[in-house]
Chain A
């Protein structure tokens, strides 16, 4: 599986958009990009995933560059409850799922 690089921490003001970057320069053609988050010490929670096209759901948007070497998770209106560690993962189908260190997002009032 391709490895990912994320900034260790980011801050965001409450009500503003949070844009979390992820680099995955060695991603291969059949690898998907996934985002999970972990609030405090709870089990991780799925957010969104995509292959090539941008994706949006009720939680977030995922923007994948045309060359697929990087992506951005967007939380459109961050709230204090979005404070968490966000993990970007790339994986191939029928394979295991490995987490990196993630980005610790702190939403400030």
Chain B
């Protein structure tokens, strides 16, 4: 049971380049989330999804797009990377059932935009 897997673990981008971060979960979870964490700060929610084919904006959605074409995958896209998007990105997934509710997190993707 792999849990939540993020790909890649590290990436360096030049300003203006695009990339996609992949989050995959094998727990049949309905909910998935993307967060960013800047140095010394807490996690901030970028986008989330409550099911296949649905997405919603979080606290800091600007500059990012997401897609949830398959239940097990949640993709985070940066169309034109900026230095302000240098951060550690975490993905998470959870059940919507509140008796079993705990979110599982991936190990993060460290992104540097130069």
Known: A87-B42, A97-B45, A98-B45. A41 touches B108 (CB 8 A): yes
Q: What are the interface flags for A71-109 relative to B under an 8 Å C-beta threshold, 1 for contact and 0 otherwise?
A: 000000000000001010000011011111110000000
Query: A97–B33 contact, CB under 8 A?
Result: yes
How far is B71's CA from A22's CA once the two chains are assembled, in angstroms?
Answer: 34
Contacts of A94 in B (CB 8 A): 50, 96
Closest residue of chain A to B107 (Cβ to Cβ) is A43
**Which among A42, A49, A85, A101 is the interface contact of B107 at CB below 8 angstroms?**
A42
Closest residue of chain B to A100 (Cβ to Cβ) is B42
Q: What are the interface flags for A46-88 relative to B under an 8 Å C-beta threshold, 1 for contact and 0 otherwise?
A: 1001000000000000000000000000000000000001010
Query: B42–A32 contact, CB under 8 A?
Result: no
Query: A99–B105 contact, CB under 8 A?
Result: no
A3 to B: closest C-beta gap in Å: 12
Q: Is the interface of A mostly helix, strand, loop or mixed?
A: loop
Q: Is the interface of B mostly helix, strand, loop or mixed?
A: strand
How far is B104's CA from A100's CA once the two chains are assembled, in angstroms?
Answer: 18
Query: A44–B105 contact, CB under 8 A?
Result: yes
B101 to A: closest C-beta gap in Å: 7
How far is B88's CA from A85's CA once the two chains are assembled, in angstroms?
Answer: 16
How far is B106's CA from A41's CA once the two chains are assembled, in angstroms?
Answer: 11
A-B CB contact pairs (8 Å), 24 listed: A41-B88, A43-B4, A43-B90, A43-B105, A43-B106, A44-B105, A46-B104, A49-B102, A87-B42, A93-B96, A93-B98, A94-B50, A94-B96, A96-B58, A97-B33, A97-B45, A97-B92, A98-B45, A98-B58, A98-B59, A99-B35, A99-B43, A99-B44, A101-B42
